[in-house]
Structure 1
């Protein structure tokens, strides 16, 4: 059975034999909900590549401590996947973030596309962004990822165009594209960006600007996928042709 994974802010200085203290909501969930006990083994991660396996030495109210038995540093996976996700309606945004985290995306960028039904403004923007971050954090722990994805603040189309221009490979998913995603060569290193439009589709101007910035406009297949699932399918198709899934 896999050991439970808990997130801590920083493990950079942790060595074998050190005691690591976990506090706050993370500890409360472990102690009060999971009923963590002294003597159990856990995995602690800082989400930046370091994982510490240890034995629980003490527990308290919203706190527990574990003694490090093993410290492992994992290299950041390459190529790095960035997914620009146009805002879906309802809870489909969190679904998209969850599955993208599970498949291995390094960065998720919420995008206010022209035809996005959902709108992030003011307090709603802050709360929605926080939900996406929390979803990514919990999905990364569930997937046992030593590197956790970054969830950017809401991006404009100008931001996305700049992101595409900087990527080693960028693709825009479009149901009417002539070229299939499978026709592209996937780089072994660097940043790969996948742009996913909203339920209403991308506007001609958005497609034109992204293509002018260097993106390849491609289709996945004959089927039309929901915006909340298209990104993970594209990521899986790309990863299957890299050493990450080799």
Structure 2
């Protein structure tokens, strides 16, 4: 069943209205016909099944609210080049990231090139993965400000330790959100890494090779997502 974004999902029996881009994709590209069913989500946990009726009308058949996750995964990330960031946003949504905080690091080169498309890309990732919660993109901060936020919110945080010797031993800490910190293409500076370690952020090594920013972001998120799932099962 195809999934579409719908800002406001009405009660069962009522007609839903899609944005023009979603409407055109459903009826002009996919040529939806009466009797077809589609899934809708509003990005805030409300999901529904709607049936296509005559005159290109979508009528809600059923709807429900998905509970917010008890533990959330956050990404703190330096900004890659535009095309790479586009792909990263979709993949972050697919992995169920709750928020994306942009980082301006000492070695940062790329700057945000406009956010007009960002929510569209996040919606695409959510639609593909059936993630009912649209990640939020938060304003850019320096690593020191990110650390203050992480401490205040008592988040278990990890950064990409290229040097395996800087990776922290795995410690089992029950509960709490997880965060993954990813530096720019040149990596975090030694001073930034030392500040992370002093603040209790743990190094996580993803292998013997140097990864691109967007590769490290996705791999680290996947590893932490698995850790969170493993803790939940215990």
TM norm structure 1: 0.83
Specify every segment of 5 or more residues in structure 2 that has no aligned partner in the other structure, as ranges: none
Q: Which residue of 1 aligns with 2:30?
A: 34
RMSD: 2.3
Q: Does 1:184 align with 2:171?
A: yes
Paired residue total: 231
Shift of 1:90: 4.4
- Residues 186 and 238, structure 1, Cα contact 8 Å, conserved in 2: no
For 1:94 and 1:226, the matched residues in 2 are separated by: 15
Shift of 1:58: 4.3
Q: Does 1:140 align with 2:117?
A: no
**CA deviation profile, 1:116-167 (whole Å, cap 9, x unmatched):** 22123xxx3xx2x233332111111111111121122333334322232224
- Residues 164 and 214, structure 1, Cα contact 8 Å, conserved in 2: no
Shift of 1:177: 4.6
Q: Which residue of 2 aligns with 1:71?
A: 63
For 2:209 and 2:43, the matched residues in 1 are separated by: 35
For 1:98 and 1:184, the matched residues in 2 are separated by: 30
Q: Which residue of 2 aligns with 1:242?
A: 228
**CA deviation profile, 1:52-87 (whole Å, cap 9, x unmatched):** 10101245xxxx532221212211223200011111
Pick closer, same or farther for the CA change 1:23–1:94 going to 2, 3 Å.
closer
Shift of 1:49: 0.9
Shift of 1:181: 6.4
Q: Which residue of 2 aligns with 1:18?
A: 14
**Map of 1:1-246 to 2, 5 A cutoff?**
3-11=1-9, 14-59=10-55, 64-120=56-112, 124=113, 127=114, 129-165=115-151, 166-178=153-165, 180=167, 183-185=170-172, 187-188=174-175, 190-243=176-229
For 2:64 and 2:44, the matched residues in 1 are separated by: 11
**Structure 1 consecutive aligned stretches of length 4 or more whose deviation exceeds 6 Å:** none
For 1:186 and 1:236, the matched residues in 2 are separated by: 18
TM norm structure 2: 0.87
